[in-house]
Structure 1
């Protein structure tokens, strides 16, 4: 075995002159390139600055670098203008599903066309069919084959095959989801899709339905009526505090006088707008300006003051293959809280169950970029693995005890290749792939050699890793023979996860690979990233927009509230002053609740928690913290910043080996889990930094929280006198254990 070459300081980022780069919120453009890095121009100040490759790599891995590939290219600008959005992830889910459906027809047609070109290679020119496929008749014939393949995939989604090859019971369609059918486009409509897609350089944004721009946009009223209507709408924002009905009566009187004059001149009268039309014009006015004129600037300011707290590939990432593998091993039941609430029948069933390993591997370097384990083959496991590909894995080696680091093994894939399994043809996974700007390649079923890299990796894991443990199931019952697999089980799934990750980092990445000509994957990664660079991974804000849990929250004076924390920023303050308390979409990363992404007018913005110290805190840790503090301190005014942070450190310090391993199990929590947790917490809120600053000092010896996992002491009676606070509506409960409440079963939720 050759000695491993140390990983470089960071993969060289590949930037183009048409790319839009944002570093810490500042927009840049590429104006030049040198051997050591790039010359970037500040878009606002027009000043130039040099950025070395190592610096850009560090900014990318820290999530401080955002990039929009081809943002300034003419065809990209035109496509964005026509679509009305900057990326597929910024579109409504309904439009994303429509794009995915059209894209499936187009990519399938291109696949059929490529197959026909291969068949025509050995035919005389007159007998070649590929060149006639895009004629009217050829396109009509080709769509029959395309429709059959699309319908086959739709049938696989609705009624997948069981392990024995028989059809399972059709899945129940979720409310609000699109039901695929074979009623595809006609030749004329499909030609429009194909021409638009190819003219836009394969940008899927061009396939957005035009229904977003439908409707009659011509003015409903004459210019003179519009002027009078706007005047009376602004009349509502006066210190006289007229009602909408009074404003409408004045509007009607003004138009009656105008129509009498027009009647005398022999002109037709103007129609009078309804009171609902006037109400809509009033609602369009800025909320703060209306109340400032009606109630006074001081009163409006006090009311609306925003409270702010602190196949083959040459390049890395050119092709990333993903697949799921049913591990050839039975596992012992875990002794952690994951199985605490299961019945004996459920425990007996778990003893016979084999877990699924989802892996993502880079074809060019043969490096493992993502690895997750779940009890079933699920879309949440596939999405978690894809997110791991584009995430920094700096703490991975330390968590599993590996020697070889993997901090810089993160990239944005150009193409993601999967099979047609239910986890990968699910619309949620497909939308996550195209949201990254990547292509989704699904080779024909029954041809595993088209994904040979990932298939060979599973073979390697079975021969070199699984063979080290007893309780193997082998590839089939014939190979197993009379081996008593269930009686020879010797390892838990958590221990296997740690072993698999350490094997990938220390053994597989440092072993000469035949597919690389004897070079190790770690050395291949260093060599190819230095030569080609990688496409920068998404920043924190973009990653939350693609992979985050989806919610809606009401905007208030304190910003947005989520799980007892308030989030704010200048962008929320401006939106609140303009629109008031409206509902806004948000995205939440279950592994880091220090910031959220909020959508405002089609653009995602990052807003941070008003209480410092929550960067890198997971939902599970925060839920345990809120439950502990809510039970121990029903009076929230007794909380101090030291108490909150000491409790959080105590919770984070209890991590056992099994809990560390659970980090690499499937972590794609469901929104329903968060909704239940918020309901259980009721009105308990973590105070913001401003609240802590105004709170009176508390004797730290009266509320010490031990770090050894012991129960929290009750607040003492002789706490210094403070003004009577507003008590939480949550009743005080008896002393509870410090560990968070376990989840219902071994399926992974954010409570892990």
Structure 2
């Protein structure tokens, strides 16, 4: 066996992990599992061998491999071997054994079994538990890791949260966490309703991640992350119906269960073991930092596969269609519930903290917020704490609670932050600036803007803003960061300020795969801002002829006073 390549160059185009009931693979070593996966692939060819025959072929090949003194692979049992085959994508198995035409005819009934044609009518969400070692082995990435890293992985696990639109099989959210909780579920719900094109652009995907809407109904299990008070509050505020199938019945939400078994084969088969960056090139880190880094690399790897492979691959449940094409066609044919605007997002996802109004107004993470209404509150109530809401994804405005009579009202920042500056982006820029030049970090806002713009031009801002990593920031950690990074510092505009570098926005060439150009994709509620962003583009999308902006607005706008009282 080659010491530098413990899997003998064998690439595993299938991802199987221990997720709930099923076979556990740790009884065999990583190299043996990798070899079994590669041999199990032989089930998907036109020789149409039975599982038993493929297993016998595997045993013969295993004997041949172990005839060399340098190779001593362990045997995988027939039960385990067949469970690997069972995990392959159904369309890939039928098409490989009987041809694509037969697969389309046979599996078209799957699409008819769930009568959801309008995007957003049924969104399925779930958390997927993955052991890192198994994930690396079964995607062919194990051989890329240095020995020192392999010995440190142990039994570390990561949870992936995903959301899929049943009518189109389009993935609307995909996030990682080290422990599923309400915060992770809320972030995934937000991702469903957020623009994700900057993520696909930053990852270098050829197909933009265009899916975005307000779900009409979300289906998920009875996990604590979904039934928590915080998650339920967000769903109520967003006016999204919530359904939990009976416990122990994953067949009641079959599409998200199948998604987790489908992405893995695409990752390894199409990428040929390549990751976005070799771990050896990242330098020497302690074990925790290495594992954190690798989880970040993994989520990028999967997102790349979702955007450029899964969304463009013929799907068993779509007959002859792909999720990308199905999404484009369905959103042009049916009216959808458009995603909330920035102000409503603040009230849906806003995190509550207490702040005192000063002469600067209200300060949060060193950002001053002020307006006339806030000034009147200070003059009337003096040095009193008020409840505020901030949106971690958009620091442009906060909401202040003025009591039961007046409810919540919005207050904009006084330093010119746009809609695209997230809390994480602001924190990272502040940290980098303080490390680089503590004196400049206290002198004004220009240096902060330069730091944020540098993040954006490097592409790091898109990853930070998307919160793709497995780490999360709780209220206690945020309070410590605010005290450490900001203290009494309040950002002030100065004469040297320049505008922020713009994040990638919705591209102007959305198309059906290998087909004609797609006309206007989705209603943008703030038309003036959207028009300004598109003005710089050489090509502008034409409006739809069969649906107007009014047609797509399925819910009436909520008045300012009445809306705030709901939260």
State the TM-score bracket (shorter-chain normalisation).
0.5 to 0.7
2:162 pairs with 1:359:
yes
Q: What does residue 313 of structure 2 align with?
A: 511
Q: What does residue 82 of structure 2 align with?
A: none
Q: What does residue 213 of structure 2 align with?
A: 411
CA spacing shift, 1:449–1:164, aligned 2, 3 Å: closer
2:330 pairs with 1:532:
no
Give matches, 1:43-192, under 5 Å: none
Shift of 1:389: 0.4
Structure 1 CA distance for aligned equivalents of residues 159 and 122 of structure 2: 23
Shift of 1:441: 0.5
Counterpart among 439, 448, 468 of residue 664 in structure 1? 468
Structure 1 CA distance for aligned equivalents of residues 465 and 371 of structure 2: 36
Structure 2 CA distance for aligned equivalents of residues 393 and 399 of structure 1: 10
Q: What does residue 197 of structure 2 align with?
A: 394
Counterpart among 345, 350, 353 of residue 548 in structure 1? 350
Counterpart among 570, 577, 581 of residue 372 in structure 2? 570
Report if the CA contact (8 A) 2:444-2:492 is conserved. Answer: no
Report if the CA contact (8 A) 1:494-1:658 is conserved. Answer: no
2:314 pairs with 1:523:
no
Structure 1 CA distance for aligned equivalents of residues 413 and 461 of structure 2: 30
2:411 pairs with 1:607:
yes
Q: What does residue 173 of structure 2 align with?
A: 370
Gaps of 5+ in 2: 1-18, 23-113, 137-147, 274-290, 499-567
Q: Secondary structure at the match of 1:395?
A: helix
Report if the CA contact (8 A) 1:416-1:433 is conserved. Answer: no
2:129 pairs with 1:326:
yes
Structure 2 CA distance for aligned equivalents of residues 665 and 635 of structure 1: 31
Q: Secondary structure at the match of 2:411?
A: strand
Give matches, 1:225-240, under 5 Å: none
Q: What does residue 464 of structure 1 align with?
A: 266
C-alpha deviations, 1:200-248, integer Å up to 9, x for none? Answer: xxxxxxxxxxxxxxxxxxxxxxxxxxxxxxxxxxxxxxxxxxxxxxxxx
Structure 1 CA distance for aligned equivalents of residues 358 and 482 of structure 2: 18
Give matches, 1:319-718, under 5 Å: 319-327=122-130, 329-330=132-133, 350-407=153-210, 409-465=211-267, 492-601=294-403, 603-613=407-417, 615-627=419-431, 639-650=443-454, 652=456, 663-666=467-470, 669-681=473-485, 683-689=487-493, 692=494
C-alpha deviations, 1:703-727, integer Å up to 9, x for none? Answer: xxxxxxxxxxxxxxxxxxxxxxxxx
Structure 1 CA distance for aligned equivalents of residues 235 and 465 of structure 2: 26
CA spacing shift, 1:601–1:372, aligned 2, 3 Å: same
Report if the CA contact (8 A) 2:357-2:383 is conserved. Answer: yes
Report if the CA contact (8 A) 1:552-1:585 is conserved. Answer: yes
Report if the CA contact (8 A) 2:177-2:471 is conserved. Answer: no
Report if the CA contact (8 A) 2:399-2:410 is conserved. Answer: yes
Shift of 1:527: 2.1
CA spacing shift, 1:312–1:448, aligned 2, 3 Å: farther
Gaps of 5+ in 1: 1-161, 166-310, 333-344, 472-488, 701-752
Report if the CA contact (8 A) 1:418-1:424 is conserved. Answer: yes
Q: Secondary structure at the match of 1:358?
A: strand
Structure 2 CA distance for aligned equivalents of residues 447 and 658 of structure 1: 37
Q: Secondary structure at the match of 1:595?
A: strand
Q: What does residue 526 of structure 2 align with?
A: none
Shift of 1:533: 1.5
C-alpha deviations, 1:462-506, integer Å up to 9, x for none? Answer: 3433567899xxxxxxxxxxxxxxxxx9x9333322221122112
Shift of 1:688: 2.6
Shift of 1:440: 1.1
Give matches, 1:191-340, under 5 Å: 312-327=115-130, 329-330=132-133
TM-score, normalized by length of structure 1?
Answer: 0.43
Two-structure CA RMSD over aligned residues (Å): 3.8
Report if the CA contact (8 A) 2:295-2:470 is conserved. Answer: no
Q: Secondary structure at the match of 2:358?
A: coil
Structure 1 CA distance for aligned equivalents of residues 438 and 270 of structure 2: 52
Shift of 1:535: 0.9
C-alpha deviations, 1:238-297, integer Å up to 9, x for none? Answer: xxxxxxxxxxxxxxxxxxxxxxxxxxxxxxxxxxxxxxxxxxxxxxxxxxxxxxxxxxxx
Report if the CA contact (8 A) 2:442-2:489 is conserved. Answer: no
Q: What does residue 57 of structure 2 align with?
A: none
Structure 2 CA distance for aligned equivalents of residues 557 and 399 of structure 1: 40
Q: Secondary structure at the match of 2:168?
A: coil
Structure 1 CA distance for aligned equivalents of residues 216 and 348 of structure 2: 16
Report if the CA contact (8 A) 1:312-1:319 is conserved. Answer: no
Shift of 1:417: 0.3
Shift of 1:320: 0.5
Report if the CA contact (8 A) 1:382-1:429 is conserved. Answer: yes
Structure 2 CA distance for aligned equivalents of residues 542 and 346 of structure 1: 45
Shift of 1:637: 11
Report if the CA contact (8 A) 1:590-1:618 is conserved. Answer: yes
Shift of 1:639: 2.2
Shift of 1:163: 7.1
Q: What does residue 284 of structure 2 align with?
A: none
Q: Secondary structure at the match of 1:423?
A: helix
Q: Secondary structure at the match of 2:226?
A: coil
CA spacing shift, 1:429–1:401, aligned 2, 3 Å: same
Shift of 1:580: 3.3
Shift of 1:319: 0.8
Q: Secondary structure at the match of 1:355?
A: strand
TM-score, normalized by length of structure 2?
Answer: 0.56
Shift of 1:372: 0.2
Shift of 1:615: 4.4
Q: What does residue 503 of structure 2 align with?
A: none
Q: Which moved more, 1:385-394 or 1:620-629?
A: 620-629
Structure 2 CA distance for aligned equivalents of residues 638 and 569 of structure 1: 25
Structure 2 CA distance for aligned equivalents of residues 599 and 351 of structure 1: 48
